[in-house]
Amino acid sequence: MLRARGAAINQRRSKHMRHAKMIGAAALVALFALSGCAAAGEAPSESTEDAVSGTLTNPDPVSIAIFGSGPASGMERLAFENGFAEDRGVKLDKTYSVVSGKEIGAALVNGSAQFGSLTTMVAQPLIEQGECFRFLTAGERNIYEFIAKPELKLDDFESYPENLLGLKGKRIGVSALGTLGETLATNVLVEAGLKPGDVTFVATGGVASAVAAFQEGQVDATWSFAPQLQIYAADEYTKLTNFVGGDSDGVMGQYIQHVFATTCDYAEKNPEVVQAVCKAVWDAYDFANDEANTKAMGEFFATSLAVDSKIGAAFWKQYSPTFPAAAISKEAYNALGEVGVVQPDFTGHVDSGCSAADPR
């Protein structure tokens, strides 16, 4: 278990519970207002929330679909696999770890998972087909950088964006084709002056296979995602951009990569469970952003990313700012629209009872 069940954790938990006592009723009212009433004849959820502790009693276990090839679903994984959801009374049945956001969308639609790390790019066409989703909490921000093989002799990020012109005619690795990652990479290259057909994107999969593809020369450059940069030796790559914690591009620095979501149908039938999950994710963010837990978070990512402790610690040191808060701000949500991603309307899909302010 990541969290020690010591006095410090119990004290924080008690504080959260006291806060939940004061605003729990208001949060539930807000959720009901957003969700709407269940249709006549539908049986209400069997789960109830304890009026004193704010913890659910007798809920059905839930399954989650998350990204398993990198740190993208880090806070969702932390919430469910390290006790925060359980503390809120939510039991985990199964975790589906996948590579593609499309798989997560399918799992939510077919009911295999009740909650999932959903990209708005995947959600939009499903919504156009009649599906309905509720966006609960924010996922990570940008973790992508362009890197190239040193033998290409391209200038580093100090010469961005002109240096990217040297990628014309080259093979560029991305985790999967037709994803948000490829869309973002294409936008960055187009903004630099290239055309989409000037490069060839190659699907290289998760961290391990992507690293191997780059090191073995299967690609000339890659749209790298964490923790690849912590795995390579410094002389194995040239860093072409400085998006993570840098100032190469403001939009790339603030957009929300995905949201933790559920279907409208599930939210309407299980409002207490949805609120408990929201609170658990907020709890996880609080834990992650507490400097006293820096070492524990490095160990958590070492385990979840299947890397050694040194790489896990290095990852968290560099990428902790990409997990700033559970709240979904309108500015951050709309940032993807500035790079050409058509997104569901913010007001109609973001759950204000969960994401606008602390629901506990």
pLDDT tens, residue by residue, 213-253: 999 999 999 999 888 999 999 999 999 998 886 555 555 76
Looking at the structure of the chain, the number of domains it has is: 2
Is residue 171, in this structure, part of any structural domain at all? yes
Least confident of 35-39, 155-159, 284-288: 35-39
Residue type, 353: G
Quote the pTM value: 0.77
Residue type, 21: K
Model confidence pLDDT, tens digit, residues 43-84: 344 555 554 445 666 679 999 999 986 788 999 999 999 999
Give the CATH number of the domain where residue 286 resides: 3.40.190.10
* Separation CA 3–CA 123 (nearest Å): 33
Is residue 331, in this structure, part of any structural domain at all? yes
Predicted confidence (pLDDT) at residue 23 exceeds the cutoff of 50: no
**DSSP string computed for 241-267:** ---TTSSS-HHHHH----EEEEEHHHH
At residue 8, the pLDDT reads: 38
Is residue 360, in this structure, part of any structural domain at all? no
Q: Which domain holds residue 215?
A: 145-254
> What ranges in 162-270 are assigned the alpha helix state H?
180-192, 207-215, 228-231, 250-254, 264-269
Model confidence pLDDT, tens digit, residues 94-117: 999 987 889 999 999 999 999 999
Task: Assign 3-state DSSP to the chain and report helix, strand, coil percentages, each to 5.
Answer: 50, 15, 35
Nearest to 157 by CA among 76, 28, 244: 244
Q: Are residue 20 and residue 129 in the same domain, yes or no?
A: yes
Q: Are residue 39 and residue 78 in the same domain, yes or no?
A: yes
Is residue 1, in this structure, part of any structural domain at all? no
Q: What is the mean pLDDT of residues 131-138?
A: 98
> Which pLDDT band holds residue 142 (cuts at 50, 70, 90)?
confident
Is residue 28, in this structure, part of any structural domain at all? yes
Provide the 3-class DSSP secondary structure of residue 119.
coil
Is residue 2, in this structure, part of any structural domain at all? no
Tell which of 194, 226, 254 closes a domain: 254
With a pLDDT cut of 90, the percent of the chain lying above it is 64
Nearest to 160 by CA among 69, 80, 79, 239: 239
